[in-house]
Amino acid sequence: MIKYLYIGVDDTDSPDGMCTTFLASQIINKLKSHGIDLIDYPRLIRLNPFARFKTRGNGGVSFKILNDDKVDLAKRIVLDEVEKLSMFDCDNTNPGVVFYDGEITSEMEDYAFRAIYEFISIDEAYDFAKSLGCEVHKFKKGRGIIGSLASIALPLSDCTYELLAYRSSDNYGTKRCIDYESVYRMDKETFPDTFENIDYSEDYIAIEPKTPCPVLYGIRSNTPDVLFKAKEMVKVSEPIVDWCIFKTNQHTDMHIQKVSKISDMKQYGCYCVRGEVKNTPKIIDGGHMFFYIQDDSGEIECGAYEPTKNFRKTVSYLRPGDVIEVYGGIGEHNTFNIEKFKVIELNDVVFENPICECGKRMTSAGKNKGFKCKKCGNRLGVDDKVPVKIERDLEVLRFYETPVSARRHLSKPICRF
Ligand code: ATP
């Protein structure tokens, strides 16, 4: 039987530089130069979006090689590169490397999903890895072992790909020289096989990171093939020193747990839940928009934050009585941060004051006192309000999502549904 060695690497970067994917691509090049090829694409796995010590997108990297007479050399290469390139000066950079040479078990898969849904301690990850017979390498606190093991173990029933192109180190921290027109052309030709390239509503080039990391751009897709064409189409006027395609769980909604009632949700979890809109969405100072949804088990405040820009306008179309399914996560203030919602039912009725026999619209006769006609004095009861159907700006069974510029790595865009 063919045996493999799984290698997981995480927590090597800091907000000031490096990127675990770049380090992985350096390792992969070194392995290749020693005649060690990867089996399948390297994997970039996004974990719990609420993890406290993440640098940006909480991504861990893993890859797989044959477990043959070169594994010791491969392990040496991995550890040397992690030691050489990690941002050790940053307090929050605590690299971890895991080597595993067995089969992926269902217990490991459960662990990986927990790393997406919950928080895991370094000790727990260490003990679990040891119980599996993994070789575990902790640098400083070694927090990276949590993500390293999860990125080895996560099953990818759905996956996407990302091509990452890397800059020359001389250019780190400087403005990226990408020809934006060529990105628009690439998007026109390759969407929806590639996606998340551009946020048209904000005129925002999403393939370009805004941090001083080694990434020049990242193009996301459903298949690896289209990425070669996309890379040819994107024109840049600075050197690309390396590039690498990763298989990922990005944009799969793997972080979302479907629950049947609001009270089943916990803080720092990501869910899809159905509820009835309780009140008209309101915008507060700072531009954040909030409203409540409710069901028989309780209620929760939902938020569409300022960075979601025009999405707030869509949210403002919601009315009390509408039934929606919201997708998102419960953050710091126990508010459900909406990534997208699906309309299940629309409340398209408003109740108007009745019209009197004389043709004039009646007015309220006081609280709970029904209606009266100012012209002829006629009176009607409280229940005599007249239902009137109204036009709505939302459609039943349609999804509405945050713009590309505000989208989470794990969030599945409508174009992938
Ligand atoms: P980048 O996306 O730029 O590579 P990052 O946002 O992935 O950076 P890391 O440097 O990987 O950030 O830091 C995230 C840390 O959180 C890692 O040490 C990882 O092991 C840890 N971590 C990941 N998932 C969990 C979890 N569920 N519970 C606790 N810690 C976690």
Give the mutation target among 54, 151, 166 for probing the ligand 1 site: most ligand atoms within 8 A of CB: 54
Q: What average pLDDT does this structure show over 4-15? A: 94
164 CA from centroid of ligand 1 (Å): 19
Task: Look at residue 52 in the predicted model and tell me its pLDDT.
Answer: 81
CB of 48 sitting under 6 A from ligand 1: yes
What's the CA gap between 290 and 357, in Å, rounded? 42
Using the CB atoms, write b or e for 158-177: b if 16+ within 10 Å.
ebbbbbbbbbeeebeeeebe
Q: What's the pTM value of the predicted model, to 2 decimals?
A: 0.92
CB of 162 sitting under 6 A from ligand 1: no
Cis before 192 (ω within 30): yes
Return the higher-pLDDT residue of 201 and 298.
Answer: 298
Task: Look at residue 408 in the predicted model and tell me its pLDDT.
Answer: 93
For the stretch 227-268, pLDDT in tens is: 999 999 999 999 999 999 999 999 999 999 999 999 999 999
79 CA from centroid of ligand 1 (Å): 19
43 CA from centroid of ligand 1 (Å): 15
CB of 373 sitting under 6 A from ligand 1: no
Task: Look at residue 384 in the predicted model and tell me its pLDDT.
Answer: 83
What's the CA gap between 372 and 376, in Å, rounded? 9
218 CA from centroid of ligand 1 (Å): 19
pLDDT at 272 over 90: yes
CB of 90 sitting under 6 A from ligand 1: no
18 CA from centroid of ligand 1 (Å): 14
Pair 406, 311: CB distance under 8 Å: yes
61 CA from centroid of ligand 1 (Å): 10
Pair 78, 27: CB distance under 8 Å: yes
What's the CA gap between 94 and 141, in Å, rounded? 5
CA dihedral 147, 23, 224, 228 (to 10 degrees): 160
Q: Give Cβ neighbours of residue 35 (< 8 Å, ≥ 6 apart).
A: 70
Give the mutation target among 53, 62, 151 for probing the ligand 1 site: most ligand atoms within 8 A of CB: 53
Token readout for 212 is 């001083």
Confidence band for 1, pLDDT divided at 50, 70 and 90: confident
List beta partners, residue 7: 63, 99
CB of 115 sitting under 6 A from ligand 1: yes
CB of 154 sitting under 6 A from ligand 1: no
Main-chain dihedrals φ then ψ at residue 407, nearest 5 degrees:
-90, 140
Q: What average pLDDT does this structure show over 335-358? A: 95
Q: Which ligand 1 atom lies nearest to the CA of residue 56?
A: 6
Ligand 1, atom 11: nearest CA belongs to which residue? 11
50 CA from centroid of ligand 1 (Å): 10
For the stretch 96-117, pLDDT in tens is: 999 999 999 999 999 999 999 9
Token readout for 386 is 């007249």
DSSP label at residue 86: S
Q: What average pLDDT does this structure show over 312-328? A: 98
What's the CA gap between 45 and 61, in Å, rounded? 6
What's the CA gap between 392 and 157, in Å, rounded? 37
Task: Look at residue 215 in the predicted model and tell me its pLDDT.
Answer: 96
Ligand 1, atom 15: nearest CA belongs to which residue? 54
Q: Give Cβ neighbours of residue 135 (< 8 Å, ≥ 6 apart).
A: 75, 98, 99, 100
Q: What average pLDDT does this structure show over 286-303? A: 97
Q: Output the DSSP codes for 274-286.
A: EEEE-S--EE-TT
CB of 250 sitting under 6 A from ligand 1: no
206 CA from centroid of ligand 1 (Å): 22
Q: Which ligand 1 atom lies nearest to the CA of residue 21?
A: 4
16 CA from centroid of ligand 1 (Å): 16
For the stretch 32-91, pLDDT in tens is: 999 999 999 999 999 999 988 777 789 999 999 999 999 999 999 999 999 998 898 898
